[in-house]
Amino acid sequence: MHIHILGICGTFMGSLAQLAKAMGHQVSGCDANVYPPMSNQLEQAGIKLIEGYDPEQLQPAPDLIVVGNAMSRGNPCVEYMLDNQLPYTSGPQWLGDNILRHKQVLSVSGTHGKTSTSSMLTKILHSAGLNPGFLIGGVPQDFGVSARLSDGDYFVVEADEYDSAFFDKRSKFLHYHTDRLVINNLEFDHADIFDDLTAIQKQFHHCVRTVSSTGTVIYPADNSNVAQVIDKGCWSEQQSFGLEADWQYRLLKEDGSQFEIRHADVSAQVNWQQTGLHNVHNGLAAAAAAFQVGVSIQQACAGLSEFVGVKRRMEVIYQASGVTVYDDFAHHPTAIATTLDGLRAKVGNSKIVAVVEPRSATMRLGMHRENLSASVAAADQVLWYQNSRIDWDIQSLADSCTVPSKASDDIESLLALTYSAITDNCHVVIMSNGGFEGFHQRLVSQLETD
Ranges 25-34, 35-44, 229-238, 271-280, most confident: 229-238
C-alpha 17/C-alpha 22 separation (Å) is 9
pLDDT tens track for 348-371 = 999 999 998 887 555 555 555 667
Instruction: Specify the higher pLDDT residue, 424 or 302.
Output: 302
Q: What is the pLDDT of residue 184?
A: 94
Q: What is the pLDDT of residue 36?
A: 67
Q: What is the pLDDT of residue 437?
A: 81
C-alpha 52/C-alpha 62 separation (Å) is 17
Q: What is the pLDDT of residue 331?
A: 62
When pLDDT is cut at 50, 70 and 90, the band that residue 288 belongs to is very high
pLDDT tens track for 302-356 = 999 999 887 777 888 899 989 999 998 876 787 788 889 888 988 899 999 999 8
Set out the domains of the chain in order of their start, with CATH numbers: 2-91 (3.40.50.720), 99-305 (3.40.1190.10), 315-448 (3.90.190.20)
Q: Where are the beta strands (DSSP E) in 161-252?
A: 163-165, 168-171, 180-183, 216-220, 237-241, 247-251
Instruction: Specify the higher pLDDT residue, 445 or 219.
Output: 219
Instruction: Specify the higher pLDDT residue, 37 or 166.
Output: 166
When pLDDT is cut at 50, 70 and 90, the band that residue 67 belongs to is very high
State yes or no: pLDDT of 401 exceeds 70: yes
Q: What is the pLDDT of residue 302?
A: 97
State yes or no: pLDDT of 396 exceeds 60: yes
When pLDDT is cut at 50, 70 and 90, the band that residue 35 belongs to is low
Please report, for residues 18, 174, 252, 324, the alpha-carbon distance to residue 71 in angstroms, rounded to integers and kept in the order given: 20, 20, 47, 38
Q: What is the pLDDT of residue 201?
A: 95
C-alpha 379/C-alpha 428 separation (Å) is 10
pLDDT tens track for 155-208 = 999 999 889 999 999 999 999 999 999 999 898 766 667 778 899 999 999 999
- The kind and range of the H/E element at 383 are strand 381-385
Average pLDDT rounded to a whole number, residues 44-49: 90
Q: What is the pLDDT of residue 191?
A: 64
C-alpha 181/C-alpha 435 separation (Å) is 31
Q: What is the pLDDT of residue 364?
A: 53
C-alpha 280/C-alpha 294 separation (Å) is 21
Instruction: Specify the higher pLDDT residue, 88 or 393.
Output: 88
C-alpha 96/C-alpha 114 separation (Å) is 18
Long-range contacts of 71-74 (CB under 8 A, 24+ apart): 71/6, 71/7, 71/165, 71/166, 72/166, 73/166
When pLDDT is cut at 50, 70 and 90, the band that residue 7 belongs to is very high
**Number of Cβ within a 10 Å radius of residue 413:** 14
Instruction: Specify the higher pLDDT residue, 269 or 435.
Output: 269
